[in-house]
Amino acid sequence: MNINGQTKILGVLGYPIAHSLSPHIHQYLIEKFKLNLFYLPFKVHPDHFNLFIQGITHLNNFLGCNITVPFKRTIMKYTKVLSEEAKIIGAVNTLTIHNNNSYGYNTDVYGFQQSLKINFPSLKLKDKVVLMLGAGGASRAILYVLLKEKIKKIVILNRTESHGQALKKHFLRYVKQSEIIAMPHDFYYLSKSGLQPDLIINTTSVGLKKSDNLLLDLKTLKNKKIIVYDLIYNPPLTPLLHAAKKNHLTVMNGLDMLILQALNSFNLWTGINVEGDLLRHLNILRRICMKRYGRGNS
Ligand code: ATR
């Protein structure tokens, strides 16, 4: 690491931010490609968010930043140009700054898409039935990808029914082939409805704590090919994934998505595309992130 007068700044903006793994991921990439960049965590109180964005937009050696909880939606109104995807999703997780203008992207789309492609190369989402838990910020990019891939049907279960309904309403205008259903969260939903989904995705924050409830009764699932995907990556095995494993279902946590969205953000800032050597970088970054578990996360 060699900071000098030409060093450009990258970072991640959130509140809180101490748990973020993004600095570890990007610092590895910066060093790997010998770039004169530095990636920092920025802890900004929501009351000062506006000032911070104004500041970085006018900082001529600021290249861009990741945006995380709770700012992924708020940032949109401060962003000069939004990508088509960010507009539809209604969330930005990556900002680039050029000539005092800000550009907003959502690289969770790439992260989610690629994580499925890499881990389940033969999976075709078209015509699949999906059960999604949660209707918060993290669910939006997921829903966007699923609908773009023309799944047959998605059932959204959410604690606050109105949030699920609002999400459904927002995306209905973009949907042609897929059926969207929004229901209040119910632990016994699968046995009551008889639904046999191909994919179950948890986008809620339930599972972050060891003491968290199991979200869903999986006992009625018959098809052992079902994939249970939890966007949480720390702990690596949430109560939901643990139960899924016990039921011999296929499980996946959110670590690959975290790393892959970071690689896409890095590409937007630097133009460097690691696609040709993706699996090697992914493996190294998995190890770097896993080493950090216990010391912090995200
Ligand atoms: P993120 O941006 O990480 O998605 P969020 O926008 O706060 O975070 O959304 C969190 C999601 O987890 C929401 O769907 C939330 O449900 P509500 O819409 O009812 O708030 C869900 N969630 C959080 N705590 C929960 C709990 N204890 N049980 C069930 N769902 C919960």
- pLDDT single digits (tens) 205-230: 999 998 899 999 999 998 889 999 99
Nearest to 182, CA basis, from 158, 150, 149, 218: 158
pLDDT tier, 176 (very low <50, low <70, confident <90, very high otherwise)? confident
- In whole angstroms, what separates CA 168 from the centre of its chain? 19
Instruction: Compute the residue count for the chain.
Output: 298
- Exposure pattern of 2-20 as b/e (b: 16+ CB <10 Å)? eeeeeebbbbbbbbebeeb
Among candidates 290, 263, 295, 261, which has minimal Cα distance to 278? 263
User: If you take atom 30 of ligand 1, which residue's CA is the nearest one?
Assistant: 159
Residues 253-285: tens digit of each pLDDT: 999 999 999 999 999 999 999 999 999 999 999
Protein residue with least CA distance to atom 20, ligand 1: 160
- Say if residue 46's pLDDT is above 70: yes
Q: Which of 234, 242, 184, 189 lies closest to 214 in space, CA to CA?
A: 242
Confidence of residue 298 (pLDDT cuts 50, 70, 90): very low
Q: How many helices (H) and strands (E) does the chain have?
A: 10, 12
Which residues, at least 6 apart from 44, have a Cβ–Cβ distance to it below 8 Å? Answer: 13, 14, 15, 52, 71
Residue 44's closest CA among 71, 21, 23, 76? Answer: 71
Residues 57, 60: Cα–Cα separation, whole Å:
8
* Alpha-carbon torsion, ordered 148, 131, 258, 224, to 10 deg: -110
pLDDT for residue 296 is more than 70: no
- Locate 175 and state its tokens: 């949907």
State the Cα–Cα distance between residues 146 and 172, nearest whole angstrom: 13
| Mean local confidence (pLDDT), 48-69 | 97
- Joined together, the tokens standing for residue 10 give 């990258």
pLDDT for residue 203 is more than 70: yes
- Residue 5: strand, helix, or coil: coil
pLDDT at 297 over 60: no
Q: Is the distance from the beta carbon of residue 69 to the nearest atom of ligand 1 less than 6 Å?
A: yes
Return d(Cα 116, Cα 252) in angstroms, integer: 9
Global pTM value = 0.96
Could you confirm whether 43 is annotated as catalytic? Answer: no
* Catalytic member of 32, 72, 150, 291: 72
pLDDT higher than 50, residue 34 = yes
Structure tokens that stand for 209 in this block: 């704590």
Atom of ligand 1 nearest to the CA of 138: 4
Establish whether residue 159 lines the binding site of ligand 1, counting it when its CB lies within 6 angstroms of any ligand atom. yes
Residue whose CA lies nearest to ligand 1 atom number 2: 137
pLDDT in tens, 102-111: 999 999 999 9
- Of 256, 285, 281, the closest CA to residue 112 belongs to 256
Which atom belonging to ligand 1 lies closest to the Cα atom of 133? 14
